[in-house]
Amino acid sequence: MYKTISLHKINDSDYFGFEPSDYSRFKYGDDEIANKFGVALGNYFIEKILKQGLIKNQIVVFSSPYAFIPTATFALKNYFIFTINRWLAENNFDSVQESKVNRTITYKEDYGELDAAERLKLIGNDSFHIDEKFLENKTLLFLDDIKITGSHERMIIKTINDFGLKNDFYLIYFAELINPSIHPNIENYLNYFSVKSIFDLQEIINSKKFKINTRIVKYILFTDSNSFNIFIEAQTNEFRNLLYNMAIGNNYHKIEEYQQNLQYLASNFIINNNIKIHNGN
């Protein structure tokens, strides 16, 4: 048995139930907004599911699938778990467990620009893995920030079927597009609402509530080299090292479109700086 749950149903391209500016900042690492979104989604799940007594087993929560760098949903997931754990503890239930859908990503394209068929074709080349032994006799919650065409949802269901899982599970979204007349690229309208260029990221990165994610790493690395060079020179060494470590952790050094900017980052700020540190400068 599985059920799809979404906090916000998008039926109008001019009204979402949440601020597009908040959503955009969330997608690029604003953890304060991830907190707000996660708590709201957690409270909704408590009212619709937990208070109705619909789950009896141990709960396992999954963020959206990723390889090395977490997605924006990972930050939302943390606050979702904090919220439902408080309710579970107050009602003498076991707290949730976490697991991960491991994903090997094969593309660099901006997913938000694509229609349903293009998304399914693109994501169909990725591979997914799940630890089925850990999940026996548990209820599974798969979180994602938004459902547009259902391509990711179909891949989750396919993965569950491929691994022969018999668990009850829920597919849980902060928002869901329910009007088929609205083009799927509405997702990019939301994604880029507050981020029109690489320099719009500075305020988010400088905030005390910043969490790096896949989207911001890809966006920075895919920027034209002149803008990238100016941007990266203005960053702290801490951020440069974080960006570099995340990028190579996701094998982005093997993607041609990212190589020039990564090489500039490595040669000017990573390798040379490490030599200076090694020599005691």
Strands 127-129 and 102-104: antiparallel
On whether both 157 and 250 belong to a single domain, the answer is: no
On whether both 179 and 205 belong to a single domain, the answer is: no
Q: How confident is the model at residue 172 (pLDDT cuts 50, 70, 90)?
A: very high
Q: How confident is the model at residue 1 (pLDDT cuts 50, 70, 90)?
A: confident
Of the residues 191, 225, 246, the one at which a domain ends: 191
Tens digit of pLDDT for each residue in 246-276?
Answer: 999 999 999 999 999 999 999 999 976 654 4
What pLDDT, on a 0 to 100 scale, did the predictor assign at position 109? Answer: 60
Mean pLDDT value across the chain: 91
More confident residue, 273 or 85: 85
On whether both 171 and 210 belong to a single domain, the answer is: no
What pLDDT, on a 0 to 100 scale, did the predictor assign at position 4? Answer: 96
What is the count of structural domains for the chain? 2
Q: Is the pLDDT of residue 279 over 50?
A: no
CB-based contacts of 138, cutoff 8 Å, min separation 6: 57, 58, 59, 60, 97, 167
Share of residues in the chain with pLDDT > 70 (%): 88
On whether both 54 and 174 belong to a single domain, the answer is: yes
Per-residue CA distances from 96 to 84, 90, 133, 143 (Å): 8, 13, 17, 14
* Residue 183: DSSP 8-state: -
Of the residues 151, 170, 191, the one at which a domain ends: 191
More confident residue, 81 or 67: 81
Q: How confident is the model at residue 280 (pLDDT cuts 50, 70, 90)?
A: very low
- In this structure, the number of other CB atoms found within 10 A of the CB of residue 227 comes to 14
Q: Is the pLDDT of residue 245 over 50?
A: yes
Q: Is the pLDDT of residue 60 over 80?
A: yes
Tens digit of pLDDT for each residue in 105-137?
Answer: 655 566 556 666 665 565 556 667 788 889 999
pTM passes above 0.75: yes
What pLDDT, on a 0 to 100 scale, did the predictor assign at position 81? Answer: 98
- Whether 244 is in a domain gets the answer yes
On whether both 118 and 238 belong to a single domain, the answer is: no
Residue 205 is part of which domain span? 198-276
| Cα–Cα distance measured from residue 257 to residue 247, given in angstroms and rounded to the nearest whole number | 13
What pLDDT, on a 0 to 100 scale, did the predictor assign at position 194? Answer: 98
- Whether 281 is in a domain gets the answer no
On whether both 150 and 261 belong to a single domain, the answer is: no
Report the candidate in 142, 226, 147 with the shortest Cα–Cα distance to residue 182.
147
